[in-house]
Amino acid sequence: MMKWLKEKWFYVIILMVAIVVPFFVPNRYFFQIIIMSCLFAIGALSLNLILGYTGQASLAHGAFFGIGAYGVAILTQTLGWSFWIALPLASVIAAVIGLIVGIPALRTRGAYFAIATMCMGEIIVLVAGNWIELTGGYNGIVGIAPPSAIPIPFIGELSFQTQTAQYYLVLVFLLFTLFVMDRLVHSLKGLTFMAVRNNELLAEAVGINTFRTKLLSFVVSNFLVAMAGGIYASLIGSISPSVASLVKTFDFLLYVLLGGIATLAGPILGAFALPILQENLQFLQDYQMIFFGVMLVVVIIYVPKGLMGAIMSLRKKFNSKKVGA
């Protein structure tokens, strides 16, 4: 136990800080930004699986986020199902759609796969905007109930009406996603993901079924981002087709690239840093995208591994100097 704490002390401190965050947040508005950042971190982590660890640029990530959001909204608001049944079912539906889309799309490579997934994303937005009977059209779905209370024997029930309860709910799902990602990328299957990313032809030559590997990564990624979308719909209370737009995909892409691709902490760092930065740059209004575009170019050229990569490089330099001293 002591050895584990010595190795993982930094992560233990981060977890402790995350647990006490609600006691130090200055106002409800900033607290809501933190909750949404935790939620978007789940989506960024899931994109990192297919992009960072498997090397496939999916531009339908926002669409699967939207599928999860609409799935939970329709199942809870229209059909009256419990959130705790609707959320896993909506995530499974997104995974199945990802499987159906991935079978033909993943037979292409590089830019062709990116274009195929981008087209699929646009189809989802068009369906959401025009299937009025199911999705409410461009007016969307409003009045979505928050997550159902969980009854606890002898104590009462755990409700999610307050911001603090919603924060801990999202934090639990973020930790679950982080645990799944950590177990996956450090397993034998995770090594096959990275083998496909590094050299697909060589991976095939040594006996790896690259198509199945990419398909598995794509399906798992879509399941996780749809889970984030379902929670988002329940917490926000209303959704529209914009929730599945290409803009949402590029938001996730920014979180991953700026935070640090192919790292577990990077997407989380990006998902927290960028929304907070956006809030502080409200005065720029229409020029925000220009600013972030320039920042992305600078990061790709000078810090290709993102903020987390820069932190790791500084840590290595510090350790090397310490050893040399």
Query: What is the reported pLDDT for 152?
Result: 82
Per-residue pLDDT of 18-46, as tens digits, reads 989 998 888 898 999 999 999 999 999 99
Q: What is the mean pLDDT of the chain?
A: 89
Checking if the pLDDT of 121 tops 60, the result is yes
C-alpha dist (Å) from residue 243 to 21, 36, 64, 142, 267? 27, 13, 10, 13, 20
Query: What is the reported pLDDT for 312?
Result: 77
Select the highest-mean-pLDDT range: 23-32, 122-131, 148-157.
Answer: 122-131
Per-residue pLDDT of 245-266, as tens digits, reads 998 999 999 999 999 998 888 9
Query: What is the reported pLDDT for 52?
Result: 93
Write out the E strands in the chain. 141-142, 150-152, 156-158, 238-239
- What are the structural domain ranges in the chain? 31-145+156-243
Exposed / middle / buried, residue 45 (Cβ in 10 Å: 0-12, 13-18, 19+): buried
Residue owning tokens 């992305």 = 296
Strand 141-142 relative to strand 156-158, pairing: unpaired
| Amino acid identity for residue 231 in this structure | I
Instruction: Name the token pair of 62.
Output: 């926002």
Per-residue pLDDT of 158-193, as tens digits, reads 889 999 999 999 999 999 999 999 999 999 999 999
| Residues 6+ positions from 298 with CB-CB distance below 8 Å | none
Reported confidence tier of residue 4, pLDDT bands at 50, 70, 90? low
Q: What is the dihedral of CA 16, 20, 26, 28, to 10 degrees?
A: 110
Reported confidence tier of residue 1, pLDDT bands at 50, 70, 90? low
